[in-house]
Copies of this chain bind each other. A is one copy, B any other.
Amino acid sequence: MHYTDHIIGKPMDRLECLFCARKYPLNVFEVFCPCCHEPMLISSTPRKRSIALDRSLSLEKYQSFLPLAHVDRTLSLGEGDTPLLLLDRVRRKHHLPPVYAKNETVNPTQSFKDRGTAVAVQKAVALGIKSIGTVSTGNMAGSTAAYGARAGLKTVVLLKEDMPSDKIRAAGIYGPILLKVRGDYGELFAASLDIGRKQGIYFMNSIDPLRIEGYKVIGYEIFQQLGGRVPRYLFVPVSSGGHLIGLLRAFLNLREEGLTADLPALVGVQAKGCSPVARAFAGGKARYSRFRQAETVAHAISNPAPPGGNLVLKLVRENSGMVMAVTDTEIVAAQRELAELEGIFADPASATVLAALIKFSRRQRLGLRDEVVLVITGSGLKSMDTVERLDISVRQTSLSRLEKTLRLIGV
């Protein structure tokens, strides 16, 4: 089966490996470069690109930057157009420059994954694909299942054997085929792509090139919401690496179009308990090595062998970025601070970015003009297990004593 992009005509988009610079026709079943085994990205033929703010869907506004000849509104769940919130109380507490949160929890399935799924599903339907799938332990399962349902596609979600049943149900509600697979999770990722190619199932996994195109839109929106400015620093959690790669590509695109001369410094953040990319970055290495005995509260980014890890290392080095790690203690404190000071309930994986900024600001003097954007990738509501361990006190009283109790507490 061959689904290549010429089926839907111009613009002609291709797959490109940034390591060997080879290009291939766009084919949704191919993810890794045949020679380098690194993830490939979409390379678009030069064309005039511009932002169309008068359109209603986020995908339509930035369509000319995406490999979509057409946006089918019936496939969209209204993803994107998420708020960029000034975190003034956090800023004052930690003596920071202006800090903003790009709140991706306000997406149809409460995570940034919807950005990528939206683009991948648009392409799948345009190419006449009938079956999609994903390998996931959490947010991606729900996102893929929701968009698959909306598009009327057969959707299969491959799960780790030990996945807790509440996480399964949050994806299962959309009616996908749920399949628990015994065996190594990394091998499952590779096997899914192989089987997908044979059986015509488009597995839109974490590092999928079309998914990464979707993540670019987060970057365009940040640029737009800052009034056409580029932040000095952009902090983002790193799991597979796809999200960081997409964000950086967005700003590279904007620079290519002459919309800005600057790039933000991308700061990728991992949890210390599973930080293969941060470790390699700190050690000055071009390639990471698999992380043994991963253990962190930040489940959503606990990826011991991120398929985009080497590409992240290459891109941050070429573009003055960095990758750092924060401890679980720092993560939990940052999660609580985001909620208590700013009213944002982030999952531990997203809270890493605030923890990293606080750490970073102690090492590096930040000036008033060093605007920072933190990408909050997923909602804490899907990781209630962490919250259960927090000390949240509940007082008791009776109706007749309520007035006195409130006076004593001093509300």
- In the complex, the chain B residue whose C-beta lies closest to that of A77 is B343
A109 at the interface (CB under 8 A from B): yes
- Cross-chain contact B178 with A392 (CB below 8 angstroms): yes
| Interface flags, A139-176, vs B, CB<8A=1, else 0 | 00010011111101010101100000010111011110
Q: For chain A residues 313-363, which have a beta carbon within 8 Å of chain B?
A: 335-336, 339-345
Per the bound structure, the CA–CA distance linking A154 and B340 in Å amounts to 11
Residues of B within 8 A of A303 (CB): none
Q: How far is the CB of A323 from chain B (nearest CB, A)?
A: 28
A293 within 8 A of B: no
In the assembled complex, A182 has its CB within 8 A of some CB on chain B: yes
| Structural contact, B403 and A198, CB atoms closer than 8 A | yes
Q: A150-B343, A169-B392, A177-B411 are in contact. Are A82 and B86 (CB under 8 A)?
A: no
- Find residues 352-403 in chain A having any chain B CB closer than 8 Å to their own CB: 379-382, 384, 387-388, 390, 392-400, 402-403
The 8 Å CB contact of A402, one of B191, B343, B379, B409, is B191
| Contact residues in B for A81 (Cβ distance below 8 Å) | 81
Interface string of A290-330 (1 = CB under 8 A from B): 00000000000000000000000000000000000000000
- Residue ranges of A at the interface with B (Cβ–Cβ < 8 Å): 56, 73-74, 76-78, 81-86, 88-89, 103, 105-110, 131, 133, 142, 145-150, 152, 154, 156, 158-159, 166, 168-170, 172-175, 177-184, 187-188, 191-192, 195, 198-199, 201, 225, 335-336, 339-345, 379-382, 384, 387-388, 390, 392-400, 402-403, 405-407, 409, 411
